[in-house]
Structures are given as C-alpha cells and as structure tokens.
Structure 1
Amino acid sequence: MYDFQEKTVYSMAQAKNGNVWLGTSNGLYRFDGMDFKKYVYPNYEIEYSNIKIDQFDRVWCSNFSGQLFCVEEDSLKVIIDESYDQELIANYYIVSEDALYYTSHNKSIIHLDLNNNSETVVFSVGKYRCISDSFQKDNEIIFTEVRNSKDVTVRTITLHTLDINNSNISPLDSFQIELYSSKEFAGSLEDKIFYIQNHVSQNLCLIGANNHYCKSSPDFSNQEVNNFLSLNDSVLFMLGVSGTYQYKLHQDSLIKTKWSNLKNSSNLLIDQENNVWISTLDRGVFIQTNNAITATLIHPSESIRKVKQLGNGKYAYLTDESKLYLFTANGPTLIQKDVNPNFNIGYNHYDSTILLPSTDDYYDLSAAQFKTKAFTNYFKHLHPIDEGVCLLTGERLDLVSMDKNYNMNNLGYRLHLKKSPETEYFEAIATVKRSNLITEEGNKNHLYVMFTDGLVHFTKDKEEETMYYDGKPILASAMHSDSSSGIWVGSNTGLIHRIQDGIITQTFDVGSNLLDIQGTDSLVYGLTNVGILRLDISSGESTLINQYDGLLEEEITKIYIENDSLLIWGEHHLQKLPLTYDKTNPIAPRVSINQLSINEEPVKLSENILLGPDENNIEFQFNSLGIKSRKGQIYHFRIKELSDQWEQTSYAAPFARYSQLSPGSYTFELKACNEDGVFSEVKTFHFTIDKPMYQKWWFITAVVLVVLTTLFLLVRYRMSVLRKQNVLEKEKESLKKQTYKSKITAIRAQMNPHFMFNALNTIQEFIVTNQGNVASEYLADFADLMRKYLDQSKEEEISLQEELETMEIYLRLENLRFDNQLDYKIDIKGDIDTYATTIPVMLLQPFVENAIKHGLLHKEGQKKLTISVFNSSNELTIEITDNGIGREASSRINQKKQRKHESFASSAIEERIQLINQTSPHKISIHFDDLMNQSQQPSGTKVTLTIKQSA
C-alpha cells in the first residue's frame, strides 16, 4: 500500500480530518493520503496498538510495555506509564476532555484525571480472578470478570457495567462455561452482548441480553483468531490466520460469510470513503476501494492466460506454466499439464466436454476424466452446434462431428460444406478463408463468423453476406450471444453493435477498442485496455470501471456474466462485481493543507499566521485522503482577495504558488472534486503579510510628525531669519529712501535756486528799465510761487491740481519776461479728478522751463506752450508741447554760446525720475518727440510724461 514498508500492523483508526493512523511493530504512523509520518517515543517499546480517536479528534495509542500515549503538537506524549509495575494496559476509554478509564493486567479498572494525573481504582479483582475483556457502549463500559473455580474445568463469567459519568459499577449477568486455554473477546451486536472463547480446536460463543444467553459453537474454521471486531453493532468480523470472515446474527446464531482471503489479518477499517483497509501481521496493509467488488486469490505464483466458462459456476483455465485447471466453488483443481498456454479452450455444453486444439484428448466434465476424441484439428475458437458437433475457426471454417453420419441439413443456416471423405469422423469445410470469432443467435438460425475481411452473417433463407456499417465492413474484436435472440459485437473502432436476425438494431460509440464483451437485455460490459466499460442500453451512457473503483491492478484476461454478477478473471485473482453496481462515488473528498512554505522554506501551520513584508512568496501543499478517486481528483483553489476565479490542479501537482504578494490580509480557499463531480467542503487558511515599517501607520505618523516638526522649526527659523532680514531690509530701504529723498531734495534744492536766480535777474531788469509796475506784479507772483515751493518742499507728492496751479503762476512769470509774447495753455481733457490724482512734487517745472529756455527763447515770432493732461486706462499722460526751434537747433546754440547759466540739466531731470521710480508707487516714463512742419523743418518739441497710477 503506497510503498508502506511495515509488515506487522496491529491497529488502525481514522481521524475526523481524514488521516489514517496505523500501529505497527516499528512505530506509530500517520497517513495523510500522500505520505507516511512515523512517530516513536524514545527509550520505550515501539510496538503500538489499540489506536483510538476521541470525540475531540485526539489520537491515542498504547504499546506492549505499559504506556499510554496521546499525540500532542505532532509528537507522542506519555499519559500513563505502568512499565515499573510490569503491567500492561489492556484497554482504555476516553470519557471526557480531561478524564479516562483504563484496565490493566493487575486486575484493576482505574480512573485517571488528566488535569492533575490523579488515579482512582474503581474496580479490582482478587486471586483466581481477572478482567478478560471490555468494551464501551454509549455511556457504559461493559467488562467481563472471570473467576476460576476449584473445579478447574469450569469458570464463572460475570458481566459488569461501569457508568462513566459517576464510576458506579453494577453486575449485569453471570454464567458458567467450560474452561479452555483460549482467547476471549467481548462486544455488542444488534443490542445484544456476545462473549467468545476461541481455541484452535474448539470455539464457544454466548449471545444474549437480559439474563438470557444462548450458547453456540460458531464456525471459526478452527483457526487461530487474531481479533474480533464489531462494526456499528450490526456486523461481526473475525480476523485470523486463514483470512477475514463476516458474521451476522440470526436467531441467536452467527452466520458466517468469507469476506477476505488475506492471511493473518489483524484489523479492519472502513474509512470515510467506504474503502476497506485490512491489516495483517506479516504482509502490511491492503485497501479494498469498493465493497461491492470481491476478490479471490486463485494463483499467487502462476498467471492465468486463457479462461472458458463451463456453466454452473465452473470454469476451465490455462496458466503460463502450461497447466489446465478446473475451477469450482471449492477452488482450482489441476486436470492436465503440458498444455500450450496460448491455446484457446473449447467447450461443448451439449455434452459437457472440454476440448483443446491439436490434441485427441478431451475432458469429460461429467465423468471427470480425459477421453480420446476422433479429431485432432487445430482451432482458434470452437462453437458447439450439438452433442459432439462443433464449428471450428482458424485457417478455415470447419464443421466436425464425432458422428461420421452427421446430417448437415440439421443446421439452421446455410453453409456450403464440402465433406472430407478421408477422416474417421465427419468433417466438412465451409470456407478456406482465415476465420476467428464465431457465435450464433439463441434461436440458432443466424450464425456470425469474423473473417479477415469482415463479419459475415449466415442464415438459411439467403446466401452469406458481409455486414457493413457506415459503408465499411464490420471488423469484430469481440462477440457475445445473450440470453435472448441477438448478439453483441464490439469492434476495433470503438463501436458496439446490437445485431438481431442479421440486422444492426443499435450502435453505440464508446471510444475504446473492445477486447471482450458480455451483455444482457439492459447492460453491456466490455473489456478494454484501460478497464471495464459498462454501457447502459436504455440511456446509451457508458462508464469506465478501473482500479480507482476497486479493481485490482493486474491484467484482466476474460470477463463473464454469471447470474447477477460480472466475473473478472485476472492474472492471479477472480473478482466479482454485481451487475447492479453503481460506480458513482457520492462521498465528498476530505481536503487538507498539509504544508506551508514561505520563500521555499517550510513553516509550521498556524491559523491567522502573520508574515513579514519580505515573506511574500508562498506555496501551499495539500492533499485529500481519497483512495478511491485518488488520481481522478481535481483541486480547486484561489485567494479570493486576488481573484474570484478558481484555479485548478491535478492530484499529480497538489500545490499552489503565489509570488510577490502585496501586504494585506488574505484567505486561501481550497476544495477538491472527486471523479464523479462531488466537491469537498471548502478549506480556508487565513494569513496576513505585514506592511514594511515605512508603510505602517505609526511609522507614517512618526515621519509626518518629524517632518511637520522639522518644517515647523525650519519655517520658524526661516521666519525669524526673514523677520531679521525684513528689519534689515526695511532699515536698508529706509536708509535708501532717505538717501533717495536726500538726493531728490538736493536736486530740488538745485532747482529752486536756479529758478530764483533767473527770476531775480528778471526783476532787476524790470527795475533798471523803469518798469516798476511790471516789477511789482512780477515780484508778487514770484512771492506766491516761492510760498508754494516752500509749502510743497515738505511733501513727496502733491495733487495734480496743486502742480498745475504752480505751473500757472510760473508761466505767468515767464510770460512777463517775454513781454507777454508767450502764449501758454493748460488743457485738462476728459473726466480727471485733479484733486484726487497725485503726482511727485515739482514734476512738470523742469520740463516747462527747458521748453521755454531751449525751445521758445530763440523762437522768432509767436511763442506757444501747451500743457495737456488726459487719462488713459490706469495711466495719467501729461504732454508739454512748444513751437520752439527744436532740440537739435537748441543744442547747436548751446554749444556755440557755452552759456554759463544754463537751464536745469537734462541729466538731473533723468536722475530725479529714476529716484522717483525707485521710491514712489508711481512709475514714470518720458518720451521726447521732435515736431516737424510740412516742409520737414523743426517746428517744436513735445515731451510726454506717462505716470502709471498705483492701485
């Protein structure tokens, strides 16, 4: 079994998770459907027996040196150690999670509290008494007390019950029996109690209840019994040296049925898939995957080559050692040696004779002896026609009869026979074509012979005809005539034909070449290279029966239908399958995850396992203890957080791998499907892959806090620096503004004396020329102008209105100097609030002065000067236009005269504008236009001041 090497197996049990535990002479083993794991406890006896699985799915076992063990954390733990008293633990019963009872060979029943390991003796026996056997039934332990009397041939058996809830003991019954040197067994069967004494020469069984016990001597085949086992209180199995027998209760008697031929069997287990496990004391463990299929070992050392059904449960077969056997209910009997094992066996059921090719001997089944026949023809197949009459296939198709005067007209079909006159018996040749298979319908009116070129039908009403299907001749590989009229034909193209009266009535495509065929009115069985095909005629559905359904893994030689069973002849065994067998496996597989590997390293399985962030390459290995459907199972698995779709893998690759999983919580789901589509329950495994430290909330929070703190400190530091810089900048700006203001003031200081000098010269000129009235008027305006200058000297900016009023006074003074020849005008265009609009103080005066001194002074004729003010968008535009000589002519005059008293310099004006732009919210730009007349001669100058108003 699965390469299990242990030969001596005492005990077996199956846990709820499907694992099978085996107690052997060399350790305790666990089988998980794929592998065996061995358990031993160091320095103790390693022969383990009496395995039990309690209601908490804990595994218990005992050995032969007084220890009781429990499997905890995947290793053996000693619970009871009686080795120092040299006592054996005969039996034990787990009654709760923390308590048990056990019987020892010191004639005691002891209660053990597993919490504190305290023991209480609840029953003991004295001299000449012992506790022979015990068993548990519901909440009671029933045990037998044996008392030997002074009369050594008689012993008294007393049955006691022990209430496991309170340890109360009550006598149940008592009876006397003869004293044997024997093994004793006790148990329950159909609510009755049995007590068995077994001895190789005599057996005793007491069965009964309520003080009524019947004594019987059951047939235990006079063998040594290794074990009695009661399954579900309905069937008693006896496991012994000669095999396994099944006993059922019938009117206080045990009715025996041979159940298995396995020698020296010791224990029996029917697992969750209804497979039968039989352990032996010298050959290991055998598994029968189908209770419906029984197997009988015919020849362990010879291989069966040819088989022929004889009827009434009898068969003839040839082995590879050239021996011919007759098989009956009593087993095989050798009837002839030195027979070619490649010969087919012929049988004539009309006269019960077994015939072999190329020999003059035949076996008379009725007389049970060999006799001599007249003909020695070789044949491949023999088809009986009547007593002593046969059709033979081979190199040709022959009809032979032991009666030399056989009448060929007795045949129910037309054969063109050519009689051979030379023989001492009747022989006629039907055809010289090579022939093979042959059969006829039950009414004997239709004969079918397979020739090399196809299947030929013979009947009386017409000539022979080759049978065709789909335009091609039928090449039969197997034929069988059933009980009704008609035959079944299997072809080498995977077709099965039903033929009646020479007509194909049904055809089924089964897809496999048929080596043999047997059929009934409702079922057809075909032998193929991969198993036995079962065809339901009514539905047309076919199923394959093979080793996964319980057939032995050996070559099948022949199949026959006998009564209500299909007999399957193999190399060494005869297997029997009921025709009513339903191969559907309704048992759901039990799937389990048996190994978890992280980064290719196995780890201990634990629920809700937490893995590190780099432990994200995961492999699950799993299996299912599905013996029957082991290789037909399909595993379905998924991690539902990754996909809703189920992936699949076969039994040959029972693992699932996931690589580079992201951090998070996952649920691995697994289920198995057997060969008939029955699914197991979904097995789940939860695990979590932890996030890296840098992805954890506390780390992120800490980093954020650190970053925020750092930013806060940096911002705070930066703000401090900026504040200091701002203070410095403000101080610097203040100093700069003060410097600019000082420069502007200095420039303005230069402007005022310059103007005052020119004005005083003009007043002096008026006085010298006796123009006192003009001088007085001029002096009054000059005083007003000086007062305005003094008032404005404290301001940075003044209203446009004030500036224009100052220019009005200034131009009046200049007009007096020009003897009223200066035509000036101040023009305000548009809707301009001159009082609200501000400009830098003394902005226009230098430009007006330059227009007069450089442009109009040298102008002959009428002198004009216009100041135009208008608003555009967010800009204030002031144009100063004169009709003087122009800048170019003025520049030439200035260069020639090199006058000592110049008007205010243009460089000073530009410097002042730059200083104003740097210190004032007003941004001022200057543009000069040289005006030309129609003759392109200079006709004046226009200065445009554009002042961008602050918002």
Structure 2
Amino acid sequence: MLKKTLLFIVLLLGLHFLCAQEPVSIHLTEKDGLPDIEFYNVLEDRKGFIWLASDSGLYRYDGKTYEQYTNTEKRGLSVFGLFEDTQGRIWCTNISGQFFYVENNQLITFIDLKEELRGQLGNYSIRDNKLLITTSRSLYVIDLITKKILLRELYGNGGARLLPLDTGYMLISFNAVKIFNNDFKETNQFVLNIHYRDIKGMATAQGHTKVFKLNEILFFSQQFRYKNMFRSINLNTGTTDATIGLELLKNKRIIVLKVIKNNLWVLTNTGIYIYENDKNEFTLKNQILKDEIVTDVIVDKDQNFWVSTLTNGVHLIPNIEVVKHKLPKSSDDIMAIDKVNDSVVFFGSKSGVVGFLNVDASTYKTSANLGNKVSAIQYNSNIGYSYVSIDDGAYFVNNKTLKTIKKQEFLGVKSFSRVNETMTLFGTYIRLAFLDNKAESVKTFSKNKRIYTTYYSENSNTIFVGYVDDLLVLDNDFKATTIRYNDKEILAISITETADGIVWVGTFKNGIFAIRDNQVIAHYTTEEGLLSDQIKYLNADENSIWIATPKGLQVFNTDKKDFKNLTKTDGLLSYKISGIEILKNRVVLSSNKGIFSFDKEKVFKTTSEPEIYFNDIKINEESTDLGTDYDLDYNQNSVQFSFNVNGILYNINKTYQYRLVGYNNNWITTDLGLNTVKYSSLPVGKYTFQVRPTSIIEGAESNVKSIKLNIKLPYWKKWWFILAYSLSIVGLIILYYKRKLKKKEIAKELEIRQLSLDNELIALKLENLRSQMNPHFIFNALNSIQEYIMLNQKKLASEYLGKFADLIRTYLSHSTKGKITLQEEIDCLEMYLELEKLRFEDKLHYAISTSGNLKPDEVNIPTMLIQPYVENALKHGLLHRKTNRDLRINFFVNEESKTVQCIIVDNGVGRAQAEKFKARSRKNHPSFATKATQDRLALLNYGKEKQIGVVITDLFEKDIPIGTQVDITIPYTTD
C-alpha cells in the first residue's frame, strides 16, 4: 500500500501543474475608497492608525475613512519615509528637501533643506532629539529643538547609509564603515574588503547601501555592475563575508529590506521574497504577491500585514499563515475533499471537476468536467480508484490518470464512509447502502428515507447514520439503535471521532453532541463557547475537533474543554466550508472560495483587545469638541455619538454594543459596519452613554468608553422660576382683586355721582319745566281764555284751554323721560308755538321743517332740549318787534354722523338790543331758564364721546342786527 502511495505521488509530481499559493489578502484599491494607487510607505502609529505615504500626499486611515494632511508651505504632493518619534508625532519628507511632522492633527513644516539636498530623497530617522539624514553621499545631523545643523559630512564614494547601534551609529558606504558614539564623535573606521572600482579606477557601484540586522548579525546589500550583492559584516574585525542562498535576488530590483518575525523580507518589483536565516545562509521560505511592485510592509498590533505597492494600491494580509492554493477558475467552488496522505488531498468541485492537490509542493492535477456538481467523494488507495458522486450520476475515477468509469449504483450521494478495505458505506437522499471495491452494490439497509451523513467507527465497529429525522447506530448485525437527547431527535449534519473513542455529532441548529456507548455524554452550544449552534462540518484531530460554522472556524480541545476561533479577521476568506482535512501539522479547508491551508499551531494570532474611542459627537446636528461630560440645555437634546476601533478588519467583520444608562440599561448590538448611535429627543435627565467592542470579555469594563450627559431642566421648570412665577401669580391675583375693588369703588362713586347728576338733572328738568311754565305764559294764557269767555267766544276759549291743557300734560309727560323722538319734540313745539301765536295776536309767523333719510319718529333725542331756545327767540328777539315776527325751525338728520342738526332762526332785534331793553326794564337778574339749560347741557355731555353742541350767531345786514341763529347739534339714537 505504501509503495502504491509513493508511486502515485511520483506520478502526480510528474504530471503536475504549477499551483501557486498566496496568503489570503484583502486588496484595497480606489473602488474601496483608497485615495491613490501609488504608495511608497505604510506605518501604524501607537494609537492604531494606519498612515500611508502616496503620490498624492499623506493619509491617515482609521479603518473606515482616509484623512489627508497637507499645508500651504508644502511643495508638490508626494511624500515618503514615514516615521513616528517618541512624542507620537508622524514624520515624512519629500523630494524637495522638506521635512514635516503631524501634531495636534496638523501637518507642520519642520525644516526646508532644499539647498542642502538638491532634489535627493534622504533616508532619515529620529533619535536623541536629532534628525539624522543620509543621502548617497552626505550625512546631516539636525537638532530638533534649535533646528541647527550639528553635523554635515560629505562622502565621495557614495552609497552612504546610517544604522543606529546600541551605543552609537554605524555609517556604511560603498568602501568603508565609520562608527560614531551617541554624540557623533567618530570612534572607529575601517575599509571594506570589497572592490567597488574596476581596474581602470572607475566606480562599479550604484544606488544605495541597504543594511539590516538578523539573528544578531549585521548584513548589508550593495549593487555592483547592477548586480545585487549581500554580505555580512563583523564590526569587531572590520571584515565582511558573502552570504549563501540569496542568489535568486541577484538581478532583482530590490526596493526595501526588512526583518519581520525573524525572517528577511525582500521587497522587489516582482513581489516579496521571504527568507529564513541560519548565520550566513538563507533559505527561501515563500514568495508572495509576485505581480506587484512592493514598496513597504508592516505588521500591525493585530498581526495583520499591510503591503503597499507602487502601482496597485494596498494589500492587507490578515494572517500570513493562511494560504490559498490556486486552482483553475472552473474549480474554485469546492464541494468536498478527502485526505490522500500528509501532503495530498482529493477534491471535487461544483463545476464537476475532480483532482489531486499537493499542498506542500503546490501542484495539482484535474480531470475533465463530469457534467454536474460533485456531491461526495471517497479516495480509495487499495484499488487505485476513487468514488465520485454527482447529483445525477456516479463515477469510478482512476487515481493515476483521473479517467472515469460511469456507474449507476451511487448517484446523488450525500456521504461516503470507508468501512474496511473491501466495503464502503454511502447514503443518498433515498437510501443507505454498501459498495464493494468494484463499486458494485452489496447491500441496501434502508430505502425511501433521506440521509445527510454517515460515519464508521473503528473503535466500536459501529455505523452512525444521520437521517432527516433521527440519529441511528448500526452494530455488526445491522441492529439499529436510535440516539436521542432529552427525548428529542438529534438532526446530524456531520460526524467524527476523537482518539479517545468519543463520537462527535454536529447538528443543523443544536450545536454538537458527544456520544459514548450510544449515550449522549455532553452537549455544547453557544452558551459553552460555540460561535454558532448551526454546524457545517466536523473533523477530529487526535483529541481536538475542528468545527466549521456560519460564523467562523473553531478548534475544540476536548481535554481542556476550550475553544480557539478563526474568523475573517484571522484570514478566513469564507465561512462556507465544505470539508476539513488534517495533514500532519496542516489543516486543509475546502470552500466556495477554493482550498485553503494553514499551520494549525501558527495560525492563531496574538491580537490586542480592540481599543474603542469616540471620534465625534454631534449636538443638534452640529459637531462639537470631544469631551467626557456635557451639560446641555433642554433643547439640546438631539445627540449623536460616533465611535471607532482602528483597523479595517474590525470595521468589516465586527459590531459594537452600546447603552444609555439612565434611559435604557440593556446593551444593544449595532448592525455590521455601523459605528454611530443617535438619540433624537432625549428627555431631561442625567445619562451615561457607554460603548464597547462586541469582542470584549464579559465583565471587563476597562475597554468600555463613556460620555456623561446632563440635559438640564428648562428655566420654567427650575425651582427659582417656579417660586418667582408662583409669587408673580399671587401678586397678579392680589393686584387683580385690588384693581377690581378699586373699579368697584370707582363704579360706586360714579353710580353715586350719576345718582347725584340724575337728581340734579331731574331738578333741572323741573326747573326747566317751571321756566317753561313761566308766570307770563300762564298769565297770558289765562287772560286769553278769560277774554274769550267775556266775549262769549266759548268755542275759542274751550279750544285754547284744551291746547293749553294738552301742552301742560305733554310737558309733564316728557319730564319723566330721558329721551323722546324727534317727532314728539316737533309736536310739542307746534303746540307751544300755536299758543304763543295766540298770545302775539297772530303777529307771529313760524315754520318747522325736517330733512334727511330717517323719519323723525325713528330718531331719539334728549327731552326738553329745543323749547328753551325757541322761548328765548320769542322772549328776547321777537317780543320787541311789533310787526312781521318770523321764526323758522329746521331739523336735518345726518345719518352718517348720527346727529340731528337743529337750526332756529328769528328776525328779532338781536341779542345786543335785547340786552338794552332788559337794562331799561331794570331786570338785571340772570335768566333762570338759560342757566338751567346750560347746566343741563353740561350734565348731558358729561363723560360722552359725542356731545350736544350749541352755537348762537347774531345775524346782521349792513351792520344792522336782523335776528339771531341758534345751531344745535344733537347726537341721536335709534333704539
């Protein structure tokens, strides 16, 4: 059997195709947001930010966004040579001789050496507060504080490069070495035993010297006649020795030499060459990124490799140990693998291609397309043929030639299990059966029942079968025993067995079960450490189990009962794993993204706990300065927190947990890729916003970041405002009631005043009435009645007496009213003037007229207002006229101004002549009726907006008085 296996390997190697293997990497380009594709250097600072020096400038990357740094003094865009000093400042330079550093998030120009360097790009470092710069032919030492050039040395031989030593510095050129102490005092020098000139004395060296230290040995590289030469150097003896094993690099364009993880990394125009070292001997370990011009590489705090290239962006290698084996593109989606030996696996793809992959030699051989996806395979070394089942067919495949023989007995197989050298067990979607070495069916155990997985245990000589609805165990006599857990079925998807004889069953949704003697002895779920209760595949490795889940790959140590995890942040390109095989110290995975392998011990990285930090806080949609405590007004209650963990892999594959203590004390997990939380309208109160990475160890509060908020009460809810408001309300109430009482008092006073006025008005009315009913008028009226009686003119006496009685009755009736209609006033005037006309013996002519839109009976005016002025016209104007006494009274209703205009015109002797008559009659007492009327008008006008107006005008004709006109304006009402 061993001879056959060896023969197969020899044949495989003889028919191999080159199968390159590359570490799994994430290629960052402009479509991923990368600001450029031409990069010269990459650096991780102490805070975990990635800095990139590119053709378009200096950038800082936090795992999500790129921030550019520049200033107005900078000439050109490109920067080179990233360096972090002891103060955490990031330095860079350019070909114009400018040196910069970033401090307080600003790019600051430190010094401009344009005239010194003259376009040469200097290699530099910073040590002991000195900026150390070397070009091919010069050395500059500059004080960081004073910016003075402390040392300037020129070297005609070229190739100068400075290397810091423990107690000073070494400066190496093409032909010599100088040793300086920390103060740059030369302590030693010696000439290299290298011929850098030809027999004609012409220099044969080019470029720069490159120096590195590996395993406590100093090495340097120089270029002579455009060929790379590597030597070691002994500073004690001043001698150099040639190295062995780096001959492959002789004609390469070497860009940078770096020592990473105790290996030499040579960055060239054809990728990276990684060498192991033993003294002066080097052994090529791997070559990666062969198609790239690599300019720099670093390893960050999480053991991720960042590789910058000159023309193709940046490659991020999450795990240098996880490699992908390149296969034909048509074979990348692998459905199943089976171990051939400790170097070779047999595989089948979704495209229907099967083949052999030599993991160590990076070679493969594939078959023709079988026409449909491979569902299961079984490598058989005993007969030289292997079993391959596709969804609609079955094949016997020759292990040497990969030629196929079509079969019908095992199409659509879900699982093969090797029982012994002559028998293979298989299960399909409809039956469980056995095959012999000729791929012919021997026995069918069950029909019409779907099978997901099978496993043959050599330890117990039993067969485990995972049906669609149960887990069965078959003994030698094919007696079936159902295995259940807590009276519930176990739905198996994959079965394996550890060295201690325990059978492990992975299920669709219930984690994994440990079974011994057909009894479940242990059950593991996410509560015990599984990444997921949904299991994709299991395979045992001694007393450990490799477990594939939709959330990552795990290895479970059954002795220590602990889990180790591998996720996409550790280099896994896919979680859709279809098979796991153990080849010595290597684990081989098949997946929809191809075949991967890794060293099972070296693959687990030592990573730092993700450090979270706040990068922005917005209050009412406006960014504010970052702090730890915020006192906010009641209307500053829209708050957004932004946070981050530096590193692209965390932001791609991890989430965060947050809570707002005081609002909701439960931790909430963000969606993938989300690193902002917003609270739109927080109520008044005190809160603490806390956020942490999801990978934090439970109970470890050190990696929880917090911000305190105090949203203050509005001023109208504060005690002093409430007190002031309450006091104000009480004061207003008191003031209100005081004013109300005062108004009542004023109203009472007004009421009393009004009563007084009313009393006065009544008295004046009575006085007015009395004045109207003056003795003359009554005497004359009674004399007239007597005269009519004596003349036996009974009818006239009766008529006169009746009119007199009507007038007296009307005056008495009106004296009780405040208002009468204009028509009533006119009627009363008619009665009065008729009697006066009789008294004047018909020598009085009068006329009363009205005009306007409203009728006289629709307008109300104060009582007893017109008659006194008519009486004055008769008594003082017309009485002294012997003949042709004329009196005209006109009423005009002005609807627009709501007034009645009364005009009384007489052709009497005038007021001046009347006063003379009055003086001759020796009656100097004032007219009582006139005074009463004036007092009454004052009372009627009191407190009114519209007032009664009286204008008396003397009428003249050529300075001779011809009468008097009285204009009375009376506001009226219509109610």
Quote how far apart the aligned CAs of 1:55 are.
0.8
Query: Given the alignment, which residue of 214, 229, 233 partners 2:241?
Result: 214
Quote how far apart the aligned CAs of 1:138 are.
4.1
> Which residue does 1:622 correspond to in 2?
643
> Which residue does 1:356 correspond to in 2?
388
Deviations 1:433-476 (A, max 9, x none): 44442221124721223344433322225623343333344332
Equivalent AA in structure 2 for residue 399 of structure 1:
F
> Which residue does 2:674 correspond to in 1?
652
> Which residue does 2:476 correspond to in 1?
460
Query: Given the alignment, which residue of 111, 121, 124 partners 1:92?
Result: 124
Equivalent AA in structure 2 for residue 131 of structure 1:
G
**SS in structure 1 opposite 2:36?**
coil
| 8 Å Cα contact 1:273-1:628 kept in structure 2 | no
Q: Hey, what's the Cα distance between the residues in 2 that align with 1:545 and 1:245?
A: 26
Distance change in 2, residues 1:266/1:399 (3 Å): same
Q: Hey, what's the Cα distance between the residues in 2 that align with 1:431 and 1:684?
A: 62
| 8 Å Cα contact 1:586-1:676 kept in structure 2 | no
Deviations 1:16-59 (A, max 9, x none): 22222111222211012432102345673323221001111111
Distance change in 2, residues 1:165/1:176 (3 Å): same
With normalisation by structure 2, the TM-score equals 0.58
| 8 Å Cα contact 2:63-2:649 kept in structure 1 | no
> Which residue does 2:316 correspond to in 1?
287
> Which residue does 2:64 correspond to in 1?
34
Quote how far apart the aligned CAs of 1:188 are.
1.6
| 8 Å Cα contact 1:516-1:558 kept in structure 2 | yes
Q: Hey, what's the Cα distance between the residues in 1 that align with 2:609 and 2:330?
A: 38
**SS in structure 2 opposite 1:311?**
coil
> Which residue does 1:10 correspond to in 2?
40
> Which residue does 2:80 correspond to in 1?
49
Q: Hey, what's the Cα distance between the residues in 2 that align with 1:590 and 1:655?
A: 18
Q: Hey, what's the Cα distance between the residues in 1 that align with 2:713 and 2:534?
A: 60
Query: Given the alignment, which residue of 583, 596, 600 partners 1:562?
Result: 583
Matches within 5 A, 1:445-484: 445-461=461-477, 463-483=479-499
| 8 Å Cα contact 2:620-2:637 kept in structure 1 | yes
Quote how far apart the aligned CAs of 1:295 are.
4.9
Deviations 1:206-262 (A, max 9, x none): 124323543123247557355444447944322335544443432332344227557
Q: Hey, what's the Cα distance between the residues in 1 that align with 2:606 and 2:435?
A: 51
Matches within 5 A, 1:245-260: 245-258=273-286, 260=288
Residue 579 of structure 2 corresponds to residue 551 of structure 1: no
Stretches of structure 1 lacking an aligned partner (at least 5 in a row)? 147-155, 405-424, 694-951
Larger Rg: 1
Equivalent AA in structure 2 for residue 34 of structure 1:
K
> Which residue does 2:447 correspond to in 1?
432
Quote how far apart the aligned CAs of 1:327 are.
1.0
| 8 Å Cα contact 1:33-1:625 kept in structure 2 | yes
Q: Hey, what's the Cα distance between the residues in 2 that align with 1:505 and 1:688?
A: 54
Matches within 5 A, 1:830-909: none
Query: Given the alignment, which residue of 513, 516, 521 partners 2:534?
Result: 513
Equivalent AA in structure 1 for residue 87 of structure 2:
F
Residue 194 of structure 2 corresponds to residue 176 of structure 1: yes
Q: Hey, what's the Cα distance between the residues in 2 that align with 1:691 and 1:492?
A: 54
Query: Given the alignment, which residue of 324, 336, 353 partners 1:307?
Result: 336
Residue 219 of structure 2 corresponds to residue 187 of structure 1: no
Aligned residues: 656
Residue 296 of structure 2 corresponds to residue 274 of structure 1: no
Quote how far apart the aligned CAs of 1:100 are.
1.0
> Which residue does 2:592 correspond to in 1?
571
Equivalent AA in structure 2 for residue 520 of structure 1:
D
Quote how far apart the aligned CAs of 1:636 are.
6.8
Query: Given the alignment, which residue of 159, 170, 173 partners 1:145?
Result: 173
Q: Hey, what's the Cα distance between the residues in 1 that align with 2:629 and 2:410?
A: 79
Equivalent AA in structure 2 for residue 314 of structure 1:
V
Residue 453 of structure 2 corresponds to residue 401 of structure 1: no
| 8 Å Cα contact 1:588-1:673 kept in structure 2 | no
Deviations 1:511-564 (A, max 9, x none): 612221112343222222222244343465556542244422564332223324
Distance change in 2, residues 1:11/1:534 (3 Å): same
Equivalent AA in structure 1 for residue 164 of structure 2:
Q
Distance change in 2, residues 1:382/1:605 (3 Å): closer
Quote how far apart the aligned CAs of 1:686 are.
11
**SS in structure 2 opposite 1:357?**
strand
Deviations 1:338-366 (A, max 9, x none): 2223442231143453332377864443x
> Which residue does 2:107 correspond to in 1?
76
Q: Hey, what's the Cα distance between the residues in 1 that align with 2:274 and 2:150?
A: 39
Equivalent AA in structure 2 for residue 439 of structure 1:
Y
Distance change in 2, residues 1:332/1:241 (3 Å): farther
With normalisation by structure 1, the TM-score equals 0.59
> Which residue does 2:132 correspond to in 1?
101
| 8 Å Cα contact 1:297-1:572 kept in structure 2 | no
Residue 517 of structure 2 corresponds to residue 498 of structure 1: no
Quote how far apart the aligned CAs of 1:174 are.
1.9
Q: Hey, what's the Cα distance between the residues in 1 that align with 2:436 and 2:709?
A: 83
> Which residue does 1:161 correspond to in 2?
179
> Which residue does 2:425 correspond to in 1?
391
**SS in structure 1 opposite 2:411?**
coil
Q: Hey, what's the Cα distance between the residues in 2 that align with 1:675 and 1:518?
A: 29
| 8 Å Cα contact 1:550-1:628 kept in structure 2 | no
Equivalent AA in structure 1 for residue 131 of structure 2:
L
Q: Hey, what's the Cα distance between the residues in 1 that align with 2:620 and 2:38?
A: 40
Query: Given the alignment, which residue of 129, 141, 149 partners 1:111?
Result: 141
Query: Given the alignment, which residue of 605, 609, 624 partners 1:588?
Result: 609
Q: Hey, what's the Cα distance between the residues in 2 that align with 1:532 and 1:507?
A: 18
Q: Hey, what's the Cα distance between the residues in 1 that align with 2:173 and 2:523?
A: 69
Distance change in 2, residues 1:400/1:674 (3 Å): closer
Query: Given the alignment, which residue of 409, 416, 422 partners 1:382?
Result: 416
> Which residue does 1:720 correspond to in 2?
none
Q: Hey, what's the Cα distance between the residues in 1 that align with 2:457 and 2:124?
A: 66
**SS in structure 1 opposite 2:379?**
strand
Stretches of structure 2 lacking an aligned partner (at least 5 in a row)? 1-27, 197-203, 527-531, 716-975
Quote how far apart the aligned CAs of 1:194 are.
0.7
Query: Given the alignment, which residue of 457, 460, 464 partners 1:441?
Result: 457
Q: Hey, what's the Cα distance between the residues in 2 that align with 1:214 and 1:175?
A: 9
**SS in structure 1 opposite 2:107?**
strand
| 8 Å Cα contact 2:230-2:246 kept in structure 1 | no
Quote how far apart the aligned CAs of 1:180 are.
7.2
Seq. identity, %: 18
Q: Hey, what's the Cα distance between the residues in 2 that align with 1:661 and 1:78?
A: 48
**SS in structure 2 opposite 1:38?**
strand
Distance change in 2, residues 1:68/1:321 (3 Å): farther
Query: Given the alignment, which residue of 623, 631, 635 partners 1:602?
Result: 623
